[in-house]
Chains A and B, each alone.
Chain A
Amino acid sequence: MGVVSSEPASRDFRWSMPRVWWTRRAHYFWYIVREFTSLPLALWLLWFLVEIRRAHDGPSGYHPHGSLGFVIFSVIVLLFALYHSVTFLTLAGAILHFNVADRPIPSQLIVLSQFALWAAASVVVGFVLIYLGRT
């Protein structure tokens, strides 16, 4: 005589996040925005690659982008770029750990150094791009 179990047969439980989970809290939303910044930045870099290739067409065929639409696109991409920079460089305080004379450098100082590096690089690159543009 067989034993009949009163327990229901076990089933796999697959939990899944709702697709709109990132709209439920501002913190989640800005996390997704941070990840999304890659897309506009990638598109802008692809444009930049096209701008480089256009030099292949010779002086008569070279027409750099200058439309209002392109400027608006660049303004939008710049906002995403700044958000990427601020969030990524701020993380440096949590990722990088250095000791000086057996004492850890405060994370705020590490973050500050990253922002200082960003400012210095921006000034140098901006100056070079403009200086070399003089005809």
Chain B
Amino acid sequence: MKEHTRKPALLHLFWWFMFAQGGVLAAILLPVHILVQGILGPLGIVPVVDRHYDTWVNVLGNPLVKLYLLVLIAFPFFHFAHRLRYLLVDLGVPAARGVPAQVFFYGGAVAVSLVTIYILLTTVPISFT
């Protein structure tokens, strides 16, 4: 008699992990970045690291900053991809359930992650000083 064994749904686990971590990171880290770099800095209320080329480049060269920025940008996009796809489902777009939509949204998150890695590695060289 053939025994049926349950395989762990590792792919499913991966996507849910990325969704959950992306949501947590967006919730905890994004508001302060938007407030400081999107509002207070441009208005000139406080000095902000990305307002001047020298300070921005010095920071961008740091490998820990590169890693932080990769996590900050890439992870939330997996969360966004899932939420936006199901937003379309909720709004009555049945095509959002299909494989092409999954490729578009989750593939888009992967593409943004790869572009982020490329930009972080090529914009400013890694510096340990």
Contacts and interface: CB of A to CB of B under 8 A. Distances in A.
B97 interface: no
A55 B60 contact: yes
Interface in A1-39: 16-19, 22, 32, 35-39
B38 A77 contact: yes
B105 to A, nearest CB: 10
A70 B34 CA distance: 11
Looking at chain B's contact residues, the main secondary structure is helix
Interface in A34-77: 35-39, 41-42, 44-46, 48-49, 51-53, 55-56, 58-59, 62, 64-67, 70-71, 73-75, 77
Given A71-B42, A88-B23, A56 B52 contact: no
B41 A133 contact: yes
**B52, B77, B83 interface centre (most CB from chain A within 10 Å):** B83
Interface residues of B, number: 56
Contact of A51 (B23, B50, B120): B50
A108 interface: no
A133 B73 contact: no
Contacts of B46: 130, 133
Interface of A: 16-19, 22, 32, 35-39, 41-42, 44-46, 48-49, 51-53, 55-56, 58-59, 62, 64-67, 70-71, 73-75, 77-78, 81-82, 84-85, 88-89, 117-118, 121-122, 125-126, 128-130, 132-135
Given A55-B56, A70-B38, A121-B28, 10 more contacts: A22-B91, A44-B34, A46-B112, A49-B112, A52-B120, A55-B53, A64-B51, A71-B38, A129-B49, A134-B47
Interface of B: 23-24, 26-39, 41-43, 46-60, 69, 72-73, 76-77, 79-80, 83-84, 86-87, 90-92, 112, 115-116, 119-120, 122-124
